[in-house]
Structure 1
Amino acid sequence: MNILWVSPFLPKADAAHAGGRALAQWVQGTAARHAVTLLTRVEPGEGAAAAALEPQLAGLHVQEFRRPAAGPLQAARIAASYARLGRAANRLLAGGGFDILHVEYLETGLGIAAGGRAPALMVAHDELTRPAHHRLQLARGARARLGAWLYWRAVDRLERRICRKFDRILTLSEHDRRTLLARDGDLSVGVLPFPIGLDRARVTPGARGGAELLFVGAMHRDANVDAIRHFCDAVLPRVRAEVPEARLTIVGADPPAEVRRLAASPGVQVTGFVEALEPYYARATAFVSPLRIAGGIPGKNLDAMAAGCPIVTTTLGNEGLGATPGEHLLTADTPGDFAAAVVRLLRDAALRHRLGERAREFARARFDVETSVAALEREHQALARASALTRRSGA
């Protein structure tokens, strides 16, 4: 098959975010079987990584993109870049020769034309309406709540319109699949298992002693900034009151000033980007993921599970995973309960070991890379067959 693959992020095995690492695995697995032409944005410093992809691709088209600075026009400029990417895809499709259009991220569908010359599949990494509603619930003050409400309603309408352009949509969790179908039952929606992005061979199992807490997240995402600020403000002081030696390491590329300032708090280290996450997961006593804004599947939680690192997260942080609280991880939703769960893990080595081992088994069984790539291959084949049948019946 000839596949036009459109992504706002360059597929990279060492990407600073889980989506980019998953993309690298999907593209590599698919390109081994089919002719893949990749259309993608490329950010400053990614030119060499883009060039390294070319040998495995049938074609590579890039659009230079520099992430705009924070401000009132940031969202509009990012949206415009998605629209440009979609229009470029339309031009490539107009030339013919593609059997499938494969699109990553709902936002990329902004500029994609409906009813194109190839059947269209979209991987919806994050269902957008639910996180927008979480932001509304967290908004404080009349003006902030009005802005969050207007944003939520606009995202709801936009997501519906984008989804109707695609013949098949793949979410990364059953929860997101049900959410999309509840709002539009005419959509064709399946679930694509999200691949583990961690190199498990580089995580050496061993005793997790001490009181080392870890949080990992791409810091250009407001959900991660909100989570770690909330943890440092409302949870960590409670933990340190019980376990004074507890230390928190915050790992993630491009931390904004509000996250960097957290390093001034007792027991907090902010690393910024790191070359490899595996050593951090290997030595952490526990992983904390206090997400209050969530959609899709939190790759950070999945990687921690694959590393056998015991986790405390929120109910929202577990929705996409579908793990069993108390068996694979711990969940808590208030500052007091979250702190108590963290303290419990720090004090109970047997509990840490049991949760970590069962989490590792859970991740391996459900989110193995080979399983994910094979599932995507089946989706591509089914879409191509359905399109061929439609063409024959219409002939």
Structure 2
Amino acid sequence: MKKLNIVIVMVEPPLPFGNAAARWFYVLLKGLVERGHQVRAFAVCSKEAEMEKAKKLFPSSEYDLKLYPIRKKSSLTQKVNSLLRPYSFKISEQMQRDLDVELSKGYDVLHIEQMWGGWAALKHLEKAVLNIHHYQLIDLEYTNSSSLKDQYEKWQIKRAEKLITKYFKTIRTCSPRLETKARELNPNSYIKTNPVGIDGALYNYIQDEERGVEPTIVMIGTMTWYPTSSAAVRLLDRLWPEILKQVPNAKLKIVGYDAKSVLSKYINSEGVEIFENVPEIEPYFKMGSVFVYAPARGSGMKIKILEAMLFGIPVVTTSEGAEGLPVVDGEHAGLCEDDEGLIRRAVELLKDVEKQNIQRKKARELVESVCGPKATLDTMEEIYSKI
């Protein structure tokens, strides 16, 4: 296609091992520049250290990337704006001003990453595309809010997601399920599914001699995100006790942001180790015989599922966990909805290393073909052509 002038707005810096969505931001920015497009990128940074990493990874001599700290203090005006435009606080006044100036110079596409970035595009919707990674109105549908504050926040999230979706004429979703919801909210827009892109070359396939000897289940994820915390509780309460009965020497390792805080009551459970806020995740994947992630509810593609498959850890999950991937049960992953089936698949894999090796090889091939940079960037360019 012809080379485009593209402006990207991201709610996290484009780091290959940063925030979950940042894996895709990295592929997007790097890949579009390599394809010859003129790209100007704006990113919010919640952590100063990540800002420095992004500057080194995308030097100004090769990339036009502007980084902004997330706004922390709120004036009365900002609080009113947040009431009218929930979660718009992520976009600072300085970032919005700089973005408006750049757009006034001319552009072909304004690419908005994730829902809350949508507030930055309200004056420039004609040539904008919104990328929806997940819908919290799906994720939180069956949760019970115990306090008035929680109920209000849930209402604000749902209202904001509906509003932002309705504004955009062009939308990219990461799974067919998200596309269905977006069409329900905005039937007149152009909507296309394009899986989350992730660079498999950054993930070294774990060789047999590098894997742990003990039969070990691992689960890794951000425990402050409801789908992940619910999957961890299900694993600990309903799956692990029966798995341990059938494989008495098995171990369970749960790793993630705020894991000990969220799962404090399970810290002394038999055979269980919980690790919190670790600097690197690869060592914990290497410990795992099987990656079990079974959320009851959670929209969008699950980055830790993709990473487990790329590292070569056999996965047992639900359709919610495998969303966006054409997974075949028993071939790419153990796929089941009920506890009994999940337990059976996990135990079978723990006891059969040959089966592990067959499944983990096919799973990596699947992720590389569906979510690789070439496939996802090709589709992204197709979406741009509709603007």
Q: Normalising by structure 2, what TM-score? A: 0.83
C-alpha RMSD over aligned residues = 3.2
1:42 maps to which residue? Answer: 45
- Distance (whole Å) between structure 2 residues aligned to residue 315 and residue 375 of structure 1: 24
Q: Give the letter aligned to residue 321 of structure 2.
A: G
**Which TM-score applies when normalising by structure 1?**
0.81
The amino acid across from 2:131 in the alignment is: V
Give the deviation of 1:321 after TM superposition.
1.8
Q: Deviations over 1:23-54 (max 9, x none)?
A: 11211112332333332222233331243234
Worse-matched range after superposition: 284-293 or 319-328: 319-328
- 1:225-247: CA deviation from partner (whole Å, max 9, x where unpaired): 22112211221111111112111
* Aligned counterparts of 1:228 and 1:242: Cα–Cα separation in 2: 20
Q: Alignment length, in residue pairs?
A: 368
**Residues of 1 paired with 2:353 and 2:121: CA distance?**
55
Find the residue that maps to 1:230 and give its secondary structure. helix
Distance change >3 Å, CA 199–CA 256, structure 1 → 2:
farther
Q: Which runs of 5+ in 2 are unaligned?
A: none
Counterpart of 2:68 (choices 51, 62, 67) is 62
Shift of 1:295: 1.0
What whole-Å deviation, never above 9, does each CA across 1:77-107 have from its counterpart, x for those lacking one? 9x86534517656534543024121111112
On the 8 A contact 2:305/2:315 being kept in 1, the answer is: yes
Matched, 1:244 2:253: no
Aligned partner of 1:12 in structure 2 is 15
Output the CA distance in 1 between the equivalents of 2:130 and 2:33: 17
1:189 Cα deviation after fit: 0.8
Which among 19, 24, 27 is matched to residue 26 of structure 2?
Answer: 24
- The answer for the alignment partner of 1:366 in structure 2 is 370
Letter in 1 for 2:114: Y
2:196 maps to: 194
User: Partner of 1:5: helix, strand, or coil?
Assistant: strand
Distance (whole Å) between structure 2 residues aligned to residue 367 and residue 164 of structure 1? 27
What is the deviation of 1:204?
Answer: 2.9
Give the residue type in structure 2 aligned to 1:263.
I
2:216 maps to amino acid: E
Cα distance in 2 between the residues matched to 1:339 and 1:286: 12
Indicate the residue corresponding to 1:106 in structure 2.
115
Q: Which runs of 5 or more structure 1 residues have no equivalent in the other structure?
A: 387-395
What is the SS of the residue equivalent to 2:111? strand
Shift in Å, 1:201:
5.4
Q: 2:90, 2:116 within 8 Å by CA — same for their partners in 1?
A: no
Could you say which residue in structure 1 is the equivalent of 2:207? 205
Residue identity opposite 1:231 in structure 2: L
Aligned residue number for residue 302 of structure 1: 306
- Tell me the residue number matched to 1:344: 348
